[in-house]
């Protein structure tokens, strides 16, 4: 059984508490690894290491070109260990092996490589001010960045947060979810192998909420980059306010998936299934509200139900599995509570909604993919983030009605529009209060393009130029160039 330790100040070591917590394979219910459980002393040591490393300048004072090869080497090491990382991610989270192999691991590696090869994005900018001065804007690293992530995409989130933060010259204290830490501690070994200066990256999983709070409130941490639930993000905001640190928050979602009668039917069916059933619906961008135009409603829903019932549910480690378990039995029970609430509020359960029958499903965290029809947008299942494979289907008649329903949510992370009419697609996308809108597709995330939310889905951006600059602070350097060196201010008094 693997036993994985912390990365603090360039050393892979056990927690000072001497304790470990179990990682449970949600496909089987079996313990498959043990993870060092960081205590308060470990978190403080990690923060001190990151602070000392940043203040020494041995990373922050390197040029972008000098930092880049370290990130590229991490990318190469991820690819060289891709099979082990994919297996660990699958056993830790319940993601299908197909997904971890072809999406999660390559995406993580590509993100490190992309930000390792940036060249001009952080260059000095000369400002054309109307004065006899040389006005220059420079982007400098913020300092120590605390990264806190959820359990649904551990390695992808690591790439999204670590790579741009490191490229910008920051040092990192990384706190993964205790529900999914195994692949990240394997990544810690690869980062250590890549030879970054001690203290630049520190990885400290913990089951102790006070340990996480220490990261958010420490005066030695300059920024928190958090991905997770909205309520937790609000608590992070309060803790961060004690030291007025910068925050980047990517929070919950209840994304509308709008399907018009003039859609490409088969593409919209497939895209709808991917948007709600990929990763068993455990995605902040999940298209969990399906808005169907009335003229298409019955036909589309019938085909969707038929295809959903045909999905092969099973052990996530099998390449034949299309739909694996949820991350834990506790989380599955939470999703079942929402399914019960949907029934109580009058929604029609037309597909799934139960634990699948059979001996192979008894110990795992399995749940059938679930579809509710006849949903009203004010119902709980249409307003609250379930974070599971539960689709709420809502009927609309006009474009204005679709936009009104889509925006009637506290969240604004993502949205999808399916139509063959480019003008309609463009018009609707501009009216949607979402940080990203996919037209006739779903799930396009690119290192070159930013990602983030509106409203209670948070603020700040990942990826793209915006995501890189998120981990910097700008400085204006203004140098007088008056002939004779006598600017007006020198003779004012």
Spatial separation of the C-alpha atoms in residues 90 and 190, rounded to whole Å: 19
- For 414, which DSSP code? E
Instruction: Name the E strands within 26-71.
Output: 30-36
CB neighbour list of residue 337: distance below 8 Å, 6 or more residues apart:
none
| Interior/surface letters 404-435, b for 16+ CB within 10 angstroms, e for the rest | ebbbebebbbbbbbbbeeeeebeebbebbbbb
Q: Name the residue among 430, 451, 450 with its Cα closest to residue 439.
A: 430
Interacting residues of 291 by C-beta distance below 8 A, sequence separation 6+: 256, 257, 258, 259, 394, 395, 396, 402, 405, 406
Which residues are identified as catalytic?
250, 284
Residue 182 contacts residue 92 (beta carbons within 8 Å): yes
Q: Are strands 348-351 and 370-373 parallel, antiparallel or unpaired?
A: antiparallel
Q: Using the 8-state DSSP alphabet, how is residue 359 labeled?
A: G
Q: Edge-to-edge strands of the sheet including 125-127?
A: 125-127, 133-141, 472-480
> Is-contact 195 96, C-beta < 8 A?
no
Q: What's the rounded Cα separation, in Å, for the pair 73 and 166?
A: 13
Residue burial 74-93, b: 16+ Cβ < 10 Å; e: rest: bbbbbbebbeebbbbbbbbb
Tokens standing for 449?
Answer: 């393009």
Distance, CA of 84 to CA of 4 (rounded, Å): 14
State the Cα–Cα distance between residues 121 and 126, nearest whole angstrom: 14
Q: How many helices (H) and strands (E) does the chain have?
A: 16, 23
Cβ atoms of residues 390 and 335 within 8 Å? yes
CA dihedral 358, 362, 364, 366 (to 10 degrees): 50
Six token digits for residue 174: 């990384």
- Non-local (6+) Cβ contacts of 53 within 8 A are 9, 59, 171, 197, 198, 199, 200
Q: Are 240 and 224 in contact (CB under 8 A)?
A: yes
- Compute the radius of gyration of the chain from its Cα atoms: 24
Give the C-alpha separation, 16 to 56, whole Å: 26
Tokens of 280: 């068993």
DSSP state of 491: G
């Amino acid at each position: 059984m693997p036993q994985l330790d912390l990365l603090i100040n360039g050393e892979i070591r056990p927690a000072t508490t001497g304790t470990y917590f179990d990682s449970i394979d949600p496909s089987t219910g079996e313990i498959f690894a043990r993870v060092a459980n960081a205590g308060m002393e470990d978190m403080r040591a990690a923060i001190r290491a990151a602070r000392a490393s940043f203040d020494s300048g041995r990373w922050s004072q390197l040029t972008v070109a000098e930092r880049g090869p370290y990130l590229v080497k991490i990318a190469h090491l991820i690819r060289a260990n891709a099979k082990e990382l994919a297996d660990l991610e699958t056993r830790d989270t319940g993601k299908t092996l197909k997904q971890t192999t072809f999406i999660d691991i390559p995406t993580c590696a590509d993100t490190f490589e992309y930000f390792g090869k940036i060249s001009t994005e952080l260059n000095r900018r000369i400002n054309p001010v109307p004065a006899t001065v040389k006005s220059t804007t420079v982007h400098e690293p913020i300092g120590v960045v605390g990264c806190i992530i959820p359990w649904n995409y551990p390695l992808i989130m690591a790439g999204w947060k670590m790579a741009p933060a490191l490229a910008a010259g920051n040092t990192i204290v990384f706190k993964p979810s205790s529900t999914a830490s195994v692949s990240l501690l394997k990544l810690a070994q690869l980062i250590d192998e890549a030879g970054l200066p001690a203290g630049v990256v520190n990885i400290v999983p913990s089951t102790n909420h006070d340990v996480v709070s220490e990261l958010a409130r420490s005066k030695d941490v300059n920024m928190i980059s958090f991905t997770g639930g909205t309520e937790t993000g609000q608590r992070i905001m309060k803790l961060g306010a004690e030291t007025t640190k910068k925050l980047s928050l990517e929070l919950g979602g209840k994304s509308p998936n709008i399907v018009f009668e003039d859609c490409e039917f088969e593409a919209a069916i497939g895209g709808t299934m991917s948007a709600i059933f990929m990763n068993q619906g455990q995605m902040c961008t999940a298209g969990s509200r399906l808005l169907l135009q009335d003229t298409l409603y019955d036909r589309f829903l019938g085909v969707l139900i038929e295809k959903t019932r045909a999905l092969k549910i099973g052990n996530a480690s099998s390449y034949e599995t299309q739909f694996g378990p949820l991350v834990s039995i506790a989380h599955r029970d939470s999703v079942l509570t929402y399914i019960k609430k949907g029934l109580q509020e009058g929604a029609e359960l037309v597909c799934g909604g139960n634990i699948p029958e059979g001996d192979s499903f008894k110990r795992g965290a399995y749940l059938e993919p679930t579809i509710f029809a006849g949903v009203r947008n004010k119902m709980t299942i249409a307003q609250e983030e379930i974070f599971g494979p539960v689709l709420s289907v809502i009927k609309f008649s006009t474009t204005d009605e679709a936009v009104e329903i889509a925006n009637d949510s506290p969240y604004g992370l993502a949205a999808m529009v399916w139509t063959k009419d480019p003008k309609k697609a463009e018009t609707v996308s501009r009216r949607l209060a979402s940080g990203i809108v996919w037209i006739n597709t779903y799930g396009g995330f690119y290192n070159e393009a930013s990602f983030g939310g509106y409203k209670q889905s948070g603020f700040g951006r990942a990826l793209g130029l915006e995501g890189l600059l998120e981990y910097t602070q700008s400085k204006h350097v203004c140098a007088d160039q008056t002939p004779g060196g006598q600017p007006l201010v020198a003779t004012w008094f």
